[in-house]
Structure 1
């Protein structure tokens, strides 16, 4: 008996059966943003004694890859799925089938339709869009053309940001011309070429808002090519080394950052609470921060 106890105590934590298994499906695995989500999810798993499986597509817009991951992982019957959907509707059938088999489904980062989520943890993206509009309207005094760079027509988070931005400009600066880019593409290359053309077509633009990371990087590249540092007020969403450098060099006035680590952490922690029979909020809002000085960022924020 003593030898058995010593053997059991010497086992690594991974060898001891976890109370719950939580599948976390991000939009992608490779970017810094989703790696921060992963770290938060894994830390919550360690704290709660849960097994966390983190699997996402290689490309951020690959909804079929997310569907395949869900189908494969459901063979092992996870207790909960925490997902950042790449599409507002196309994952509904897959997730509802998981719910019918007793798996809880929680959303993070981006909204979706047709699924009764146990909880949804994300930025209030519509409010973030309104905050972005308020900031640029202060800089421009509500005058001059404003360019809204839209990301894609099936991403819940960016659609909400764009809606909040557009409705705020219309309400607060009815005399300002809002130039709507329509959807400029999901790749940096497409965004760069489209923003370059838009800025050439509208040389009198006073302000620009970009709602997503890839459109933001493409926008920065276009601003550099046209030598527009300090000539146009620009606010972009999310951060990368290129975006921070653009802020330092005055190509943009500010960027907005979310809390990906906290989303990942709360996604898994809330799933564990719900599985343990606790009541959990249907909606948990994580804050955004408007950064006007890249040097203000602490290393853990980056």
Structure 2
């Protein structure tokens, strides 16, 4: 065999060995450029009573599938278990994912965990429920003050000056609860008597019992605004079981099948519907953009619509009321 052929053969053998080694290692060309990025979605709760969180999760999972992202979903067992969410965040940070998407149970108490994530160079986004610091690189969700004002504006058009109004909220120090109430109160202004805000801690049974109590204690009560799905369901059941069904102006945030039935029956006069699927999808999509080094906007408004019995059968509103169909 000629020397030149021997040299060429040796080069091919060496190349083949190097190629085999190249593909046998974890840090090969394809793992660097096409590896699955790890994103963790830390929800406010993993409880599946609220349709809102179920739909948000579907949007997140779909985005992960579309983008080839490995997504893990975690969260406290109940929405008012703030310390459990803090503990989960600390555990997630130790696992060093590429990005964390947080739906914060508390506006202030999740700030240290958020700061820790950024110190560890983990990309951090917030969805639906935000934090009081600037650690979140992108906030995705409803502009809750404007949404609350939309609901309060509807109430103002249906009431007379001096009427008594109740606000039934959920977890006191979560950003949506704070901002929705601000919006409702700003729209109602000073012309109505607004009772002290009731907090249900996202518990339907507490919403039920508290609504029964105020209906009994304040027979002059003219309107109730329930500021999230679970609070609304408890309030709806209490009004339905009372003699005030259809008589009191009852408006809500969010919708599930039971609340939609209440809207159809006229017990609920209007509901402010959010877009949780969009929230989940856009949160994962923008996490992916951050991981890839792309810039993202500091906030994304996913929108909301006020739906009443009069317009609930419009095609666009049907899609919002039944997003999983």
Into which bin does the TM-score normalised by the smaller protein fall?
Answer: 0.7 to 0.9
Change (3 A) 1:68 1:181: closer
Aligned partners of 1:19, 1:127: CA distance in 2, in Å?
A: 38
- Indicate the residue corresponding to 1:73 in structure 2: 92
Q: What is the CA-CA distance between 1:121 and the residue it aligns to?
A: 0.6
Matched, 1:244 2:260: yes
Look up the SS of the partner of 1:175 in the other structure. coil
| Rg comparison, structure with higher value | 2
Segments of structure 1 that go 5 or more residues without pairing to the other structure are 5-15
Equivalent pairs, count: 288
| Of 72, 79, 82, the match for 1:63 | 82
1:1-302 alignment runs, 5 A limit: 18-29=35-46, 30=48, 31-142=50-161, 144-170=163-189, 174-293=190-309, 295-296=313-314, 297-298=318-319, 299-300=322-323
* Cα separation, 2, equivalents of 1:56 and 1:17: 28
State how far apart, in whole Å, the 1-side matches of 2:161 and 2:288 are: 47
Aligned to 1:132, the other structure's residue is in SS state helix
Report the RMSD for the aligned CA atoms in angstroms.
2.3
Alpha carbons 2:114, 2:135 under 8 Å: kept: no
Change (3 A) 1:111 1:175: same
Shift of 1:102: 0.9
| Counterparts of 2:167 and 2:257, CA distance in 1 | 23
Report the CA distance between 1:124 and its aligned residue: 0.5
Name the stretch that deviates more: 267-276 or 135-144: 135-144
After superposition, give the CA deviation of every residue in 1:173-193 in whole Å (9 maximum; x if it has no partner).
Answer: x33222233434431111111
**CA–CA distance in 1 between the matches of 2:173 and 2:58?**
27
| Contiguous gaps of at least 5 residues in structure 2 | 1-15, 21-32
Identify the range of structure 1 (34-43 vs 154-163) with the bigger mean alpha-carbon deviation: 34-43
CA contact (8 A) 2:55 2:324 kept: no
Q: Secondary structure at the match of 2:290?
A: helix
Give TM-score scaled by structure 2 length: 0.82
TM-score, normalising length: structure 1: 0.88
- Aligned position for 2:11: none
Q: Take 1:230 and 1:269, find their aligned partners in 2: how far apart are those partners?
A: 43
Distance 1:273 1:262, change over 3 A: same
1:10 matched residue in structure 2: none
> Which structure 1 residue ranges, 4+ long, deviate > 4 Å from structure 2?
none
Note the alpha carbon deviations across 1:207-241, whole angstroms, 9 max, x for none.
21111222211211221121222211111111122
Q: For residues 136 and 101 of structure 2, what CA distance do their matches in structure 1 show?
A: 10
Give the 3-state SS of the residue equivalent to 1:300 in structure 2.
coil
| Alpha-carbon contact 2:204-2:234 (below 8 Å) kept | yes
| Shift in Å, 1:168 | 1.6
* 1:11 counterpart residue number: none
Distance in 2, Cα, partners of 1:262 & 1:220: 27
Q: CA deviation at 1:87?
A: 1.1
